[in-house]
Chains A and B, each alone.
Chain A
């Protein structure tokens, strides 16, 4: 047993750090520091910078443009980006539809779509959830009716993250309404977002952000060439995708970055007992979270080391449910601590363009103004990608046989 990284792996991590420091746009970084998504232009620019080094699809096999890293390097890469903080390669293409196409897609689909994912020439969005199909995804009702060489799609998707930026959607659609089981008769369909009959309507969340949308389909015609695999076996693709999505959800690097940041902020913030950083109750609570981050990190490394020994591309592992549950809970606890650190200043809404290093004693610090929106936004972490309750169901079944 040995917890230390090998010398080549350490050098690899340093190289990733160096590239991030040299090439990440400071404006992108400061948006990430504020806990916001990058703008589309920022994200595309960064993704392409990674792509130029062959780093934009860490999990893919080499033949499709992957860098050929083992699980340890894939982990180090993602963690280093998180800790910077820098955006990850855009995930809808690289971690969701890409692996599905590699596993289930036709040769033509791979040729057509995979290279454009590597360079983020197509922005993908995920058409899974519907108003009546959330955790019970198999209850989805958007239909695709076969008419000659086209599937005709009618229905509605919701919570579609960044659909307003998307060129393409991968969607689950009901191809056989008379199938015996709800999971049967579902297809995995690739839909051009510029097709006639698609309407994208924003859903504004309480933090003031526009991340998610409703997407309506009214007799949208999609070529049969865009169906991935068997039109009645799309559920296999969905399960494959969801299991992949959960992998790497521990977000240890984000937690570390938030902790370092919170310590800096707490040196300036005040509590009734003096400086916040000197307040024993604050310090003990922060220390408790740091301990939990360490336990999560080692657990994550155990999963990663196991994967690295097995070799090859990532495979679904129910242990990733554990990582997702604890990763989300820890970030939410950090957001709570930051919110409390802000005190009354958490009431003020953030300004769109905060002055970088302003020393105006009359104005409230930007981090404090951001603390409430971030706290509210991060409630999503235990909801999306399979709620934490669904993750516990998965674990109870897989590990406990309950």
Chain B
């Protein structure tokens, strides 16, 4: 049992926090958010220069061979600075499908460009009206000689507005909800028959609704085994939940730090409000929630290596449920202890709240995952 970072991992954390301190103060973030895409290409290239975009990919594909802990460190640091750039969509989601599902040939052509910041990816999985169950996919893929023809509607495609390629999940057989029959394809966003509409998310990001009408996909762009891609989709989703958990820890860390500073500096009744015990206790409860979340982020990173699929599914349901609940608790307490200022667009705490609510919502909220966990027999 060991919770220590390696020398390499410490170095990564330190250089990243240095970069973010220089480039991602909250005022700068406001400027990035005002750009039409809602983030900064310049910062994106700085991330590329630091190797963050190459990090999880295998060295033979042009990556740096980082593992779950490295991804956790990056996600946590990004959370603490409320980073807006499409790292999660491109590297964790899109990159996850490339790493686990793409042919060597496809990886060789895409990974180096992705690592350089030239290519953006997004995941088109969720569908209008579906629950968060992984297999609720109605989008169809039909074989047509050497090609596949994909048709369907996708929603909440995070950063789908700017992505160059989408990972599209679809069904080659069976009905929505069934684990059998799933497939995944890499589809360029300029493909004939693919149309997009930009959405804004409540946490200040962009996403897209996507319609696919008879979109042709070549054999080279098949990800995983058509008809048997459930495991692939689940694996990427679990890696995504691990990253979200770490990001949530970062966001909660920021919300808590700002709250404690506020308690020390804000004066009412002739003294700092942090001298009031009732507020001290609520700040302490935030700290407890943060540490529980941190434990679950570590548990998530470590559980990615769990060989038993059922065990892994239960672990990630538990992680997502706890992160969602504790995240919302920290958010609402931070806002309450700040008073009205905590709700303003100008101040970082409100953005922490928005992001933590967003993190809960993605890939099934706490209620969804608790129900899944209960149906799977629980953890103990």
Alpha-carbon distance A115/B300, docked complex (angstroms): 45
Which of A290, A294, A400 sits near B299, CB closer than 8 Å?
A294
B3 touches A402 (CB 8 A): no
CA distance A399 to B284 in the complex (A): 9
> What's the Cα separation between A283 and B3 when bound, in Å?
32
Assess whether B285 is interfacial by the CB under 8 Å rule: yes
Task: Determine whether B222 belongs to the interface, using a CB cutoff of 8 Å to chain A.
Answer: no
Q: Is the CB of A400 within 8 A of B284?
A: yes
**Which residues of B (258-283) have their CB < 8 Å from a CB of A?**
260, 263-264, 274-275, 277, 280-281, 283
B-contacting 9-mer, from A1-9, A187-195, A197-205, A371-379:
A1-9
* Complex Cα gap A392–B281 (Å): 6
- On whether the beta carbons of B380 and A293 are closer than 8 Å, the reply is yes
Q: Does A309 contact B (CB under 8 A)?
A: yes
A402 vs B380: C-alpha distance when bound (angstroms): 37
Question: Does B225 sit within 8 A of A, measured CB to CB?
Answer: no
Report the Cα distance A37→B222, complex, angstroms.
62
Please report which residues of chain A, range 123-167, place their CB below 8 angstroms from some CB of chain B when the two chains form the complex: none
B298 contacts A by Cβ under 8 Å: yes
Asked if B11 lies at the interface with its beta carbon under 8 angstroms from chain A, I say no
Classify chain B's interface size: 35 or more
B302 proximal to A (CB < 8 A): yes
CB distance from A25 to the nearest CB of B (A): 26
User: What 0/1 pattern do residues 390 to 402 of A give for CB contact below 8 A with B?
Assistant: 0011011001111
A290 to B299, CA, bound (A): 14
User: CB distance B322 to A292 under 8 Å?
Assistant: yes
Is B378 a contact of A396 with CB atoms below 8 Å? no
Q: Do residues A291 and B280 form an inter-chain contact, with CB atoms below 8 A?
A: no
Within 8 A of A (CB), among B75-100: none
Closest chain B residue, CB of each to CB of A300:
B295
Q: Are B291 and A322 in contact (CB under 8 A)?
A: yes
| Interfacial chain A residues near B321, Cβ < 8 Å | 287-288, 291
CB < 8 Å: which of B264, B277, B301 contacts A401?
A: B264
> Are A6 and B1 within 8 A (Cβ)?
yes
Mark the stretch among B36-44, B109-117, B369-377 that contacts chain A.
B369-377
> Could you tell me the distance between the alpha carbons of A401 and B257 in the complex, rounded to whole angstroms?
12
B302 proximity list for chain A (CB < 8 A): 1-4
Q: Is the CB of B283 within 8 A of A260?
A: no
Contact A2 B380 (CB under 8 A): no
Smallest Cβ-Cβ distance to A399: which chain B residue: B287
Answer yes or no: A306 CB below 8 A from chain B CBs.
yes
In the bound complex, residues from chain B placing their C-beta under 8 Å from that of A246 are: none
Residues of chain A from 23 to 39 with CB closer than 8 A to chain B in the complex: none
Closest to B288 in A: A322
Residues of chain B within 8 A (CB-CB) of A5 are 1
User: Within B328-380, which residues are at the interface with A (CB < 8 Å)?
Assistant: 367, 370-371, 373-375, 378-380
Within 8 Å by CB of A301, from B1, B274, B296, B370, lies B1
Q: Are B1 and A4 in contact, CB atoms less than 8 angstroms apart?
A: yes
B229 within 8 A of A: no
Q: How far is the CA of A259 from the CA of B283 in the complex (A)?
A: 30
Partner of A260, one of B263, B296, B370, B380: B380
Q: Which residues of A contact B293 (CB under 8 A)?
A: 295
Given A2, A260, A288, A291, which contacts B2 in the complex, CB threshold below 8 Å?
A2
> Please, how many angstroms separate the alpha-carbon atoms of A4 and B69 in the complex?
15
Residue of B nearest to A388 (CB): B281
- A301 vs B274: C-alpha distance in the bound complex, in angstroms? 31
Q: Which residue of chain B has the shortest Cβ distance to A396 in the bound complex?
A: B280
Is the CB of B4 closer than 8 A to any CB of chain A? yes
Q: Which partner residue on chain A sits nearest B373 by CB separation?
A: A287
Partner of A290, one of B3, B4, B373: B373
**Bound complex: CA of A291 vs CA of B367, how far in Å?**
12
A40 to B344, CA, bound (A): 61
Inter-chain contacts of A1 with B (CB < 8 A)? 2-5, 69, 298, 301-302
Bound: A319/B315 CA distance, A: 25
Look across to chain A and name the residue whose beta carbon is closest to the beta carbon of B303: A3
Residue B292 lies at the interface, judged by CB distance under 8 Å to chain A: yes
CB–CB B378/A290 < 8 A: yes
Contacts of A101 in B (CB 8 A): none
Q: Are B277 and A393 in contact (CB under 8 A)?
A: yes
CB distance from B101 to the nearest CB of A (A): 26
A322 to chain B, nearest CB (A): 5
Complex Cα–Cα for A298 and B292 (A): 8
What are the residues of chain A within 8 A of B284 when measuring CB–CB? 392, 395-396, 399-400
Shortest distance between the CB of B274 and any CB in chain A (Å): 4
**Is A295 touching B322 in the complex (CB atoms < 8 A)?**
yes
Q: In the docked arrangement, what's the CA distance between A399 and B378, Å?
A: 33
Tell me the complex Cα distance, A5–B302, Å: 13
- Tell me whether A402 and B260 are in contact in the complex, defined as CB-CB below 8 angstroms, given that A290-B379, A392-B284, A392-B285 are known contacts: yes
Least distance between B158 CB and chain A CB atoms (Å): 25
Asked, given contacts A309-B4, A326-B288, A402-B264, whether A3 binds B280 with beta carbons under 8 Å apart, the answer is no
Q: How far is the CB of B263 from chain A (nearest CB, A)?
A: 6
| Bound complex: CA A151 to CA B53 (Å) | 72
Q: Say whether A299 contacts B295, CB under 8 Å.
A: yes
Q: Which residues of A contact B298 (CB under 8 A)?
A: 1, 3, 298, 302
B296 partner residues in chain A, CB cutoff 8 A? 294-295, 298
State whether the Cβ of B166 lies closer than 8 Å to any Cβ in chain A.
no
A169 contacts B by Cβ under 8 Å: no
Of chain B, the residue at the smallest CB distance from A72 is B1
Q: Which residues of A, 286-319, contact B by the 8 Å Cβ criterion?
A: 286-288, 290-299, 301-302, 304-306, 308-309
Inter-chain contacts of A302 with B (CB < 8 A): 3, 295, 298
Shortest beta-carbon distance, A395 to chain B, in Å? 5
Bound-complex Cα distance A301 to B175 (A): 44
Q: Which residue of B lies closest to A1 (CB)?
A: B69
In the bound complex, how far is the Cα of B378 from the Cα of A304, in angstroms?
25
Whether A396 and B283, one on each chain, are in contact in the complex, defined by CB atoms closer than 8 angstroms, is yes
B318 CB–A CB distance under 8 Å: yes
CB-based contact B374/A286 at 8 Å: yes
Of the candidates B1, B373, B379, which one forms a contact with A293 in the assembled complex, judged by CB atoms under 8 Å apart? B379
Closest residue of chain B to A259 (Cβ to Cβ) is B380
**CA A291 – CA B380 in complex, angstroms?**
9
Q: Is A263 located at the chain interface by the 8 A CB criterion?
A: yes
Query: Do residues A280 and B277 form an inter-chain contact, with CB atoms below 8 A?
Result: no
Q: How far is the CB of B166 from chain A (nearest CB, A)?
A: 33
27 interchain pairs (CB within 8 A)?
A3-B1, A3-B299, A4-B302, A256-B380, A259-B378, A283-B375, A284-B374, A286-B378, A287-B370, A287-B379, A290-B373, A290-B380, A291-B318, A291-B321, A291-B322, A292-B322, A294-B299, A295-B293, A299-B291, A299-B294, A301-B1, A322-B288, A392-B281, A392-B285, A393-B277, A402-B274, A402-B283
Using A292-B292, A322-B288 as known contacts, list a sample of 15 further A-B pairs with CB atoms less than 8 Å apart, ordered by residue number in A: A1-B301, A3-B298, A9-B1, A280-B374, A286-B374, A287-B373, A287-B379, A290-B373, A290-B380, A291-B373, A292-B322, A299-B291, A305-B1, A392-B285, A402-B283
The 8 A-B residue pairs with the shortest CB-CB distance, nearest first, are: A298-B295, A283-B374, A396-B280, A295-B292, A287-B374, A3-B302, A392-B281, A392-B284
